[in-house]
Amino acid sequence: MLEKPSDPRTFGTFWYGGRLDALEQACAHSFIRHGYRLVLFSYKPIENAPDGVELRNAADLFPEELTKRFLLNGKPHLTPFSNLFRYKMIRDCGLVWTDLDVLMIKRLPDELPDDIVVREEQGGLNNAVLYIRSQHTLDKLIEQSMAVAGRNLVWGQTGPILLTQVVNELHEKIETTSHSVFYPIEHYDLFKIFLREFADECREKCRGAATIHLFNNILSKMGYWKNMAPPAGSFFHQKLEETGGLSFFRDIYPENVMVHMTENYRMRLSGQALGIKAVMAQLIPSIGRTWRHYHPAQNS
């Protein structure tokens, strides 16, 4: 068993691969910047981990072969394994889990419960930031996650779905925390952090928040390149500047490009773009090819 830190608010996370994108670097650095330790587990050396991040071998917790045993859409996928990894990391190492798409913008509030289990606005539990003291609960989460290895899973089956189910079933005394502390910007409003016109609204929503969850899956659907910083004047740009994260990015998105990117994403999300695409592809194949060229995220 790995040595547990004396500070119960030491954070831990996991990365599969050899390099971090600028966004992950900035998020990791934000915890260091606010005076917390951050332990980064990986199976390969991380070439560009920010200064102050402590690197550990993920094989001390699970063999790398296990990463290939969790399936989504019939193919190995890291997300279900990552959920299992965090439960074992919390239990064996006493670390607070954080996803690497979580940006710390303020130190944790003093009145925070010992457990960090965040209830989302819709009522479910999210595990992007997580700490559970109960070994019984963690054992159950690990056991039930391992039980579905090799099966074709649905999104969240070893994550928020399982966490909500186990916490509700066991009736352990686990005090949950409002989403406003850790996920003040909900997934449906994430686009607003990139746009100048919503900067004041985002600042107000994050007034009492310690972190922002950037929802990496949404960034991927947007087509956001994570080595480019958000436009100057946006709320996200401001927070990266305050936490010293801008230096990790190669360049800054022009404001007009970001406006079009978020508009296209919202149109696709509403289903309008999908319908247009289907009609155009049937009527005029060349227009269909043009659509695919300018909307690569729709065809990934």
Work out whether strand 71-72 and strand 152-153 pair parallel, antiparallel, or are unpaired.
parallel
The reported pTM is 0.87
Sign of the C-alpha dihedral, residues 122, 300, 26, 138? positive
Per-residue tokens: 256: 């007009």
Q: Report the distance separating Cα 298 and Cα 246, nearest Å.
A: 29
Q: How many CB atoms lie within 10 A of CB 178?
A: 14
| pLDDT reading at 25 higher than 50 | yes
| pLDDT higher than 80, residue 273 | no
Beta bridge mates, 117:
130
| Annotated domain spans of the chain | 11-253
- In angstroms, the first-to-last Cα distance of the chain is 40
Contacts of 67 (CB under 8 A, 6+ apart): 16, 43, 76, 78, 81
Q: Are strands 96-98 and 211-213 parallel, antiparallel or unpaired?
A: unpaired
Which burial class, exposed, middle or buried, applies to 278 when counting CB atoms under 10 A from its CB (0-12, 13-18, 19+)? exposed
Is the pLDDT at 280 greater than 50? The verdict is no
Rounded to whole angstroms, how far apart are CA atoms 70 and 48?
28
CA distance 195 to 117: 30
Percent of the chain having pLDDT more than 90?
78
Neighbours of 98 (CB within 10 A): 27
Burial (CB < 10 A; 0-12, 13-18, 19+), residue 72, is: middle
Q: CATH number of the domain at 11-253, please?
A: 3.90.550
**pLDDT tens digits for range 48-62:** 999 999 999 999 999
Pairing of strands 251-252, 228-229: parallel
277 pLDDT above the threshold of 80: no
One DSSP character per residue, 252-295 reads: E--HHHHHHHHHHHHHHHHTHHHHHHHHHHHH-HHHHHHHHHH-
102-146: pLDDT as tens digits: 999 999 999 999 999 999 888 889 999 999 999 999 999 999 999
What is the pLDDT confidence band of residue 291, given thresholds at 50, 70 and 90?
very low
Beta strand 75-76 with 71-72 is antiparallel
Tokens of 118: 């965040």
**CA 109/CA 7 separation, integer angstroms:** 15
DSSP 185: S
